[in-house]
Amino acid sequence: MPAQVQPTGTIGSLAELYEFGAIPVKGWGIVAGLAGTGSSECPPALREVLVKYIQQAVSGDRNLDADKFINSPDTAVVEIRGVIPPVASQGDRFDVEVIAFTGTQTTSLEGGRLYPAHLKAVSRLQRFDQYSRTLATARGAVFIDKLDSGAAAKKRGYVLGGGLVAEDVQISLILREPDYLVASAIRNRLNGRFGPGTARAVSPGDIRLAVPGKFKDDKDRFLAMVTALSVGEDEHLQQSRIEMLAGKLSRGEDVADSQVGLATIGKAAIKELLPILEASDEKVRFNAAVCMLRIDDDRALPVLREIISDAGSAYRIGAIQAVGTSARRNDAIAILSSVLADDNFEARFAAYEQLRNLGDISVSQTPVAGDFLVDKVVCGGEKVIYVSRSGQGRIVLFGSPIYCKDNIFIESADNNIVVNSGSGDKFVSVMRRHPKSPRLFGPLRSSFKLSDIIFTLGQLLPGEDKVLIRPGLGVAYSDILALLKQMAENGAVDAEFRAGPMPELRTIVEKTITNDR
């Protein structure tokens, strides 16, 4: 019986990576907590589905009159749209869009909250009552942007980070020629390189992959390393491949593939990478340093530190991200902390994101009403208020503490919220017109710290059955952002106001729906 030949080559040459791309999803649900701006209209087939769901999952109260709940002017039936990111894992979050049904009397979703709802693949969902596997759930406060010029479209909004992936998206390696020996060799190589449980051969032609925790936030790099990993390669062949890839990197050819290939090989590639750190071309030095740092060799740090300190470098943001994700924690914090006071806001923000992920003491987080976070960044430089409008709702205060001035009177555009402090006052008063009655709620007292004012505005209103240690006014995140912008522009706080981008999912979803038709 002839001896079996061991497979050789990269995994990418032996198998094809099969992964799902972004998956458009949709569903239907109920937005509650509206101030009489909802409606009772609901397609009969959908009403039947929602009534059953409300009774079983939402309220936990079998005696609840689900029809009465749907008919209330304080609720509205909505369509929910979202896009599950590529290679998503269970528990990953994504933005969803909520849209009031056309032709109904719903006038606004402002101030509402989406009740838990199921999301299913757009391509498989044609009817309200059609069975289809739940890929994600959605819930949370509705965000309606009020920062851009023009009237807000109040009948549609977003739930920032409101989508929750229900299960890992399947990732498989499909062998070009099914063979148990090859499948076993690939499985063993992957588990040896990335850790037990990374790969599981389910058939001669199919190997299932699980993304290791180390790559949870960098799944694309993990998949690239999987296909670049070699099987059955001896030292001579490996050295030849190292020299070939290092040569390409030094010439600026196929940079991404060369970096992945060398990082996949690991420590054996360091000898060929070290001389490239001395290259005259900054781009070549940067690429080599990033590659070395990914192999856990900190001799790359001086090159990246120099690039980060050069305000004119085109590779500065990339160097900040590389140090934050690949350097030892203490080294990363030491290098990035000084960037928080930089004149360039993009560099400051990139450093902040990395330091936040590293849990550095310069960034402290306070959750507000379970709907958004306030990040206080202790640093020098210009004071900046940054607000997110996609992903996690987040207000970032660069140069914290930021103080509000006295002798101010700030009123929201709809006259429902007032922030007030007289000359010489020792506190700031905040008031809000109750969403369901003409009476004012407050005033509540706050210190002059902007973070305290935000907390007082956003913390939950006290309910009849709840006693809060520190109640707030229950102001929606979108209204707080509009107030902060107004305060910065009117000089009530000496800080620049910056807003992040809006979610981009609408174009993706609409294109997909059009193509499906």
Question: Tens digit of pLDDT for each residue in 88-118?
Answer: 999 999 999 999 998 899 999 999 999 999 9
CA-to-CA dists, residue 7 to 189, 198, 237, 445, 452, angstroms: 11, 20, 14, 72, 63
**Cα atoms found within 13 Å of the Cα of residue 40, Cβ hemisphere only:** 6
Furthest C-alpha separation in the chain: 97
Residue with the two structure tokens 């690429």: 287
- Given CA atoms 268, 272, 276, 277 in this order, what sign does their dihedral have? positive
Q: Which CATH number fits domain 235-363: 1.25.10.10, 3.40.47.10, 2.40.50.140, 3.40.1080.10?
A: 1.25.10.10
| Type of residue found at 471 | P
Q: pLDDT for 223-242, tens place per residue?
A: 999 999 999 878 899 999 99
Contacts of 306 (CB under 8 A, 6+ apart): none
Q: How far apart are CA 51 and CA 131, in angstroms?
A: 16
Structure tokens at 485: 């912008």
Contacts of 85 (CB under 8 A, 6+ apart): 22, 92, 94
Which ranges of 72-127 would DSSP assign to H, the alpha helix?
none
CB 141 within 8 A of CB 159: yes
Query: From first to last of its 517 residues, what are the pLDDT tens digits of the chain?
Result: 444 557 788 999 999 999 878 999 999 999 999 989 999 999 888 998 898 888 776 555 556 788 899 999 999 999 999 999 999 999 999 999 999 998 899 999 999 999 999 999 998 777 776 678 999 999 999 999 999 865 558 999 999 999 999 998 889 999 999 999 999 999 999 999 999 999 999 999 999 999 999 998 899 999 999 999 999 878 899 999 999 999 999 999 999 999 999 999 999 999 999 999 999 999 999 999 999 999 999 999 999 999 999 999 999 999 999 999 999 999 999 999 999 999 999 999 999 999 999 999 999 999 999 899 999 999 999 999 999 999 999 999 999 999 999 999 999 988 899 999 999 999 999 999 876 767 778 899 999 999 999 999 999 866 555 554 567 899 999 999 999 999 999 999 999 999 999 998 655 455 444 444 3
Query: Looking at 122-253, which runs of residues are DSSP E strands?
Result: 134-141, 156-165, 171-175, 199-203, 206-209, 230-231
CB 262 within 8 A of CB 242: yes
Q: How far apart are CA 377 and CA 397, in angstroms?
A: 6
**Cα atoms found within 13 Å of the Cα of residue 430, Cβ hemisphere only:** 24
pTM of the model: 0.90
**Cα atoms found within 13 Å of the Cα of residue 130, Cβ hemisphere only:** 14
